Amino acid sequence: MLLEEIKNYKIYLASQSPRRRELLAGMGFDFEVMPTHVKEVHPEGCTPAQLVEHLSRLKLSAVKLEDFPENALFIACDTVVVLDDEVLEKPENEEDAFRMLHSLSGREHVVMSGVTVKTRRYCATRHSETRVRFRAFSDEELWYYIRHYRPFDKAGAYGIQEWIGYVGMEGMDGSFYNVMGLPTDVVWDMLQNAVKE
């Protein structure tokens, strides 16, 4: 089983997201958090899927493998919300959060996450997509959520595991955990491939 095979590796999660830490720990892995400090550059003309894959690779671009143990294994992930081909990342302030949430109200959107897994012998990138449908929210409800939950560290200005998801999600097609920020099924599959190399 993967949890036994991966004990030979030292796992590093290239993310400061508390949700990603919670999900990776919930999968049964021991790991260290390795914050990344890279400027997120968006290449011209790429699709949202290409963008999240690029951003996940970018988070590991500054990693010097020789500075880490030989058995190091790195996981990086980036998540965006896509509505009508517009990429919604983290809001800059309350007004930006309201704009994003208002645009998602009563609509279906797509949450995309790119994942990169890297060792000295293996490097792969994949992405996951989940369709989410929200009911129509009142302005009062949106401001309640923004002011009580402060979703400024979340793509699309919301956390599906918070109040707004409890009261507003009408349906979903795809991985719930992808919407939280880490497509755990994809990560599991990629790690199985990594330990075989």
Supply the residues annotated as catalytic.
78
Distance CA 58, CA 37 (A): 10
What distance, in Å, lies between the first and last C-alpha atoms of the chain? 15
**Structure token pair of residue 99:** 């704009």
Instruction: State the burial class of residue 178 (Cβ atoms within 10 Å of its Cβ: 0-12, 13-18, 19+).
Output: buried
| Bridge partners of residue 152, in order along the sequence | none
| Bridge partners of residue 169, in order along the sequence | 134
The DSSP call for residue 6 is G
Q: Which DSSP string corresponds to 40-71?
A: ----TT--HHHHHHHHHHHHTTT--GGGS-TT
Distance CA 194, CA 72 (A): 11
The radius of gyration of the chain from alpha carbons, rounded to an integer in Å, stands at: 17
